[in-house]
Structure 1
Amino acid sequence: DAMKSAELFKAQAHIFKQVFCFTNGASLKCAVQLGIPDAIDNHGKAMTLSELTDALPINPSKAPHIHRLMRILVTAGFFVEERLGNGKEEKANGYALTPSSRLLLKNKPLSLRASALTMLDPVTVKTWNALSEWFQNEDQTAFETAHGKNMWDFFAEDPGLSKKFNESMASDSQLVTEVLVTKCKFVFEGLTSMVDVGGGTGTVAGAIAKTFPSLRCTVFDLPHVVANLEPTENLDFVAGDMFGKIPPANAIFLKWVLHDWNDEDCVKILKNCKRAIPGKEKGGKVIIVDIIMETEKHDIDEFDYAKMCMDMEMLVLCNSKERTEKELAMLVSEAGFSGYKIFPVLGIRSLIEVYP
């Protein structure tokens, strides 16, 4: 009986831990909005609790609770506690940044701050709360169940939210871009023109254009996304729809596009890409950046878990998915391409070349 009750309490703790998983995200959002990572970064070294509370824009009556917020965030790996002082001097612990919280600093080139805040936005969270209802109704997406229209129409009608979404895409692009233009130059060398389909505000295309001055880059996105964006010497912005005609180029670039769409729509997009590029003998190709899901893997690591979470996010937002290599190969073949090559060089995402 003692054994049975121990098992029951362990099961109860497991349920509480999983049910309260949202606590990590909500606490992280709070820390970012209060500017905790930036306060520690500006301090230049580990901060004591009192130094931290003094630096934050909080009501003084709430200061005693900051240590509880920091405790959960330290446990989740966003901050680390360091012993301050040396020798015989007794000093309190101080909070320091970890590699994760360094990616959440404001105004840093590789910051994921905007991306994290968008994923934790009430609009997104409300969508998750509609998941069980969506499974039982006729709506195309859980986003539609929650908000009455699909995500793309919703963003198109709300300039503020659209701006936030584009900022989050740009923020998520920075790290990938850094690797693309330093470690993956071979993908772009020899190209004279490239169209970034669904390229948003041009974060990636702009960096590629800067790295390869002889490469003519075009960002091709919806009118409300590219309106008022300034072209540069070898970077243009063109409004349009990838389900219509895609501007011709040596190569088409699809970064986190296919995972937003079901198989049928992906085949349509890929067929339009194929029409826009020359044959393989002339160097035509489609360059894709997306997650490739693992199959038959039992030792799940942080990367795998992040991929599964992203796959669920795609289900909830777009009724789409992250694909296995087999699923990708099927799309590529159905769209009339001859082959592909996968380079797993971008963390949870891969760089994929597809050949006509």
Structure 2
Amino acid sequence: MRSKKQNLLEKKEMDSKEAKALVQGQATIWQFMFGFADSMALKCAVELRIADIINSHHRPITLAQIASCIDGSASPDITCLARIMRFLIRRKLFIAHHPSDGGECLYGLTHSSRWLLHDSELSLAPLILMQDHPWLMAPWHYFSRCAREGGIAFKVAHGREVFEFASANPTFNKLFNDAMACTSKVVTRAILSEYKDGFSSIGSLVDVGGGTGGMISEIVRAYPHVKGTNFDLPHVIETAPTYHGVCHIGGDMFQAIPNADAVIMKWILHDWSSEDCIKILRNCRDAIPSETGKVILVECVLQPDGSGLFDDVSLILDLVMLAHSSGGKQRTELEWKKLLNEAGFPRYKVLNIPALPCIIEAYPK
């Protein structure tokens, strides 16, 4: 039989574990409560071009040197900047070098902060400025209302859906297009490095929802035999630059899609409900040859219990869709399979690339 002393010791140990777990739970809630501080500090770094300033010196530099290079600031607040940098170093966005001779701390770049460079070919700075803009942050405050009553968070916040808002607001339209263009460069680089055989057998390709044409222009440059078409809403096409080998066509993907050997769509279907996706995909099927055509989807494949490099971000992006889209969502492979089958694409395969999304290649036969 267990002694009374053993029972008391066991109870004391259990109480201690429970107390530690409660404290850990409290710490977790504090972390979540102030999670916005990460994105706001990140946005601040982008707006001040801190990464660009350090990079322009080609070496780690002092806080005073960073402050002296901030545009539009005659008298920067060094103390404020120091506290922001301390936080960003804690988050490993920058690194602090402490000289052994006791000199001033020097601030350098990390692999993460290199993605904040405005003038880099591969930069996420425009996306950060868009996602953390008050226009895009406002819908998040209406999640509980939408959960109670239904509705589209962006429309509740701004009185119209996101693409209507962009059409009527040139400033937002540019913010949105710049953000999409920067992600397009990042993803396109990954596609061209890993999907090398995907474009070799096609003569024409239409990028549906291609924005200002960044992705299709890079594909055509890498595969000059491909005739490229950039297809998007008229107000988007109006701002698109001229690219060799690419024609721009304005239109509505819910009505019809230009004919081509293949269709590519990057982060388009995640903006829409399943019913809308089926309409778009059926228009894609009508636009390609029934025997040899294919649709190339560049989308996340959600793995809620996954431990992959981008699996957590994919779940966050599902909430982004809840905040900004009209019924959009990230989808699991099973959900993609069901969607494609209902739209007339019974065969598909998923290809991983070194980026957040995957490639889903779908065939009508």
Once the two structures are TM-superposed, the CA of residue 7 in structure 1 deviates from its matched residue by: 4.7
The 5-angstrom pairing of residues 340-355 of structure 1 reads: 340-355=348-363
> In 2, distance between residues paired with 1:12 and 1:209?
53
1:224-258 deviations in Å (ceiling 9; x for gaps): 00015344442000010000011110000111001
Once the two structures are TM-superposed, the CA of residue 343 in structure 1 deviates from its matched residue by: 0.5
Report the equivalent of 2:313.
306
Report the equivalent of 2:253.
242
Once the two structures are TM-superposed, the CA of residue 324 in structure 1 deviates from its matched residue by: 0.5
Report the equivalent of 2:334.
326
CA contact (8 A) 1:251 1:285 kept: yes
The 5-angstrom pairing of residues 172-187 of structure 1 reads: 172-187=183-198
Report the equivalent of 1:84.
99
Once the two structures are TM-superposed, the CA of residue 346 in structure 1 deviates from its matched residue by: 3.6
CA contact (8 A) 1:133 1:145 kept: no
Tell me the SS of whatever aligns to 2:231: strand
Among 263, 275, 288, the residue aligned to 2:297: 288
Letter in 1 for 2:84: L
Report the equivalent of 2:49.
35
CA contact (8 A) 1:82 1:93 kept: yes
Report the equivalent of 2:8.
none
Greater displacement, 206-215 / 43-52:
43-52
Report the equivalent of 2:231.
220
CA contact (8 A) 1:214 1:234 kept: no
> In 2, distance between residues paired with 1:335 and 1:184?
24
CA contact (8 A) 1:220 1:238 kept: yes
Tell me the SS of whatever aligns to 2:228: strand
1:13-34 deviations in Å (ceiling 9; x for gaps): 2211111011010011111111
1:93-150 deviations in Å (ceiling 9; x for gaps): 31111111111111211111101110101011101111111222242x1101111111
1:14-71 deviations in Å (ceiling 9; x for gaps): 2111110110100111111111111111121111223222333446362112121011
Among 209, 214, 220, the residue aligned to 1:203: 214
Structure of larger gyration radius: 2
Once the two structures are TM-superposed, the CA of residue 8 in structure 1 deviates from its matched residue by: 4.2
Query: Given the alignment of the two structures, is residue 143 of structure 1 paired with residue 147 of structure 2, yes or no?
Result: no
- How large is the Cα RMSD of the aligned pairs? 1.8
> In 2, distance between residues paired with 1:108 and 1:9?
43
Tell me the SS of whatever aligns to 2:351: strand
- The 3 A distance-change label for structure 1 pair 138 and 294 is closer
CA contact (8 A) 1:32 1:104 kept: yes
Among 140, 143, 153, the residue aligned to 1:131: 143
> In 2, distance between residues paired with 1:181 and 1:190?
15
CA contact (8 A) 1:278 1:284 kept: yes
Report the equivalent of 2:114.
102
Letter in 2 for 1:55: C
Report the equivalent of 1:22.
36
Query: Given the alignment of the two structures, is residue 66 of structure 1 paired with residue 81 of structure 2, yes or no?
Result: yes
1:136-183 deviations in Å (ceiling 9; x for gaps): 2242x1101111111111111001110110110000111111122233
Report the equivalent of 1:54.
68
Query: Given the alignment of the two structures, is residue 190 of structure 1 paired with residue 201 of structure 2, yes or no?
Result: yes
Query: Given the alignment of the two structures, is residue 268 of structure 1 paired with residue 276 of structure 2, yes or no?
Result: no
Report the equivalent of 2:3.
none
Give unpaired runs (5+ residues) of structure 1: none
- The 3 A distance-change label for structure 1 pair 347 and 182 is closer
CA contact (8 A) 1:205 1:235 kept: yes
CA contact (8 A) 1:197 1:219 kept: yes
The 5-angstrom pairing of residues 148-163 of structure 1 reads: 148-163=159-174
Tell me the SS of whatever aligns to 2:116: coil
Instruction: Name the count of aligned residue pairs.
Output: 348
Tell me the SS of whatever aligns to 2:77: helix
Letter in 1 for 2:247: D
Letter in 2 for 1:42: S
- The 3 A distance-change label for structure 1 pair 231 and 52 is closer
1:298-332 deviations in Å (ceiling 9; x for gaps): xx355111111111101111131111000000011
